[in-house]
Amino acid sequence: MPRRPIARAESSSPHTKAASSSSRPTSKHCAGSALLIKNTRPSRNRCPPWQRKGRLMQARFALKTTLTCVTLVLVASCSSTSSGTPTPTTSSSVAQNEKSLPYAGAPGVATPLDSSKIDQDPCSVATPAQISSISGGILKNSSKFDAGAGSVDCAWVLADGLGRLTTGVAMETNAGLSSIYDKNVKKQLTSFKAIPAIDGHPGVAFANGGEASTVCNVAVGLSDSRIYLAIANLGPRNPKADNPCGIATDLAELAVQHLKGA
């Protein structure tokens, strides 16, 4: 989805993660590349690409909203003064300083979904049998972990080095798909392609640069302000290694269906 969001990309170095631990990787683990936030140089002691440690937070965006006075409506300390008399900020002036969702050409989400039931329980969106069915391999283990910025993600590790799937709701952005579309407009992505809507929810497959051909990042709009990120990071021996975006899309579809109670 692999120092999601927003949107969720994982690096060209696929990763594996021990299911028994949800803690952050230590220096003994193989290092991955942080994509949306930064790129790091690979060390000489490199593990096989599909065995490197990584997190969906590497796919997530460094989209931190800066709070400004215009968002503190009617607060005197953020208001202009005249002759010592505070002048409250009006709602119209706030609107002029905030972007309305969606923007940057992103599609709107007609039927928003409440993601609260998976925000802290990301592995509940799919059963082991479903993961094995869509992934091209047998599920070895799964675990949730803290991805930072309030996001909790799930990692599904496939047996025999066939890859890793990572998913979660991107809590670090409130701009939804607009955040990804905006990056595309600013030419900050190396690939960008809208995918067919999933049960009425628009989505996009994208790359930040450096991803291997066996890695795909997919973001689906749950609402105008919230996205679900799914990353397929496949090993070269995976029989579906040539279609990681298909797997990431299938996983995102399972999440949407789960939220809809299907």
What is the per-residue pLDDT across 44-59, written as a single tens digit (0 to 9) for each?
Answer: 444 444 444 443 444 5
Q: Please, what is the average pLDDT of the chain?
A: 75
Mean pLDDT of 108-129: 96
**Residue 160: its pLDDT value, please?**
96
CA distances to 118, 174, 184 from 257, rounded to whole Å, are 12, 22, 28
Mean pLDDT of 28-49: 40
CA distances to 53, 163, 229 from 109, rounded to whole Å, are 34, 31, 16
Say yes or no to pLDDT of 220 above 50.
yes
**Residue 98: its pLDDT value, please?**
64
**Residue 25: its pLDDT value, please?**
41
Say yes or no to pLDDT of 94 above 80.
no
What is the per-residue pLDDT across 163-215, written as a single tens digit (0 to 9) for each?
Answer: 999 999 999 899 999 999 999 999 999 999 999 999 999 999 999 998 999 99
**Residue 152: its pLDDT value, please?**
95
Beta-carbon contacts of 21 under 8 Å, excluding residues fewer than 6 positions away, are 143, 145
Q: Per the structure block, which two tokens stand in for 256?
A: 């949407």
Say yes or no to pLDDT of 16 above 50.
no
Say yes or no to pLDDT of 157 above 60.
yes
Query: What are the DSSP calls for 28-44, one per residue?
Result: TSPP----SS---PPPS
| pTM beyond 0.85 | no
